[in-house]
Amino acid sequence: MEIGTASLSLADLPAGSAGCITSVEVGGLLRRRILDLGMIPGTQVRCVRKAPWGDPVALQVRGSIIALRAEDLKRIKVSPLN
């Protein structure tokens, strides 16, 4: 797989697509939680599914599936994988 050059928020990654985290622009306790879940720059993530109204979003990260609010995912940037 090749890392794409465009950067978008993890909330905008289409269902079924994969991306590589480029930055985590979150602070405080939420940042700690995101990092503890293994979502650090360089990690590959895949958007497994989105709820009908786009919130929450199910992601596959390091072999686990987690669900997070789209509001929080807007501050995590990814490069889509081709």
Domain CATH number, residue 38: 2.30.30.90
Q: At residue 70, does pLDDT exceed 70?
A: yes
Under the banding of pLDDT at 50, 70 and 90, the label for residue 3 is very low
Number of domains in the chain: 1
pLDDT at 54: 73
Question: Where is pLDDT greater, at 82 or 67?
Answer: 67
**Which residues, including other chains, have CB under 8 Å from residue 52's CB and lie 6 or more apart?**
none
Which pTM value belongs to this model? Answer: 0.83
* Cis upstream peptide for 41 (omega within 30°): no
36 falls within a domain: yes
1 falls within a domain: no
2 falls within a domain: no
pLDDT digits (tens, 9 = 90+) for 19-59: 999 999 999 999 999 999 999 999 999 999 998 887 899 99
pLDDT at 81: 87
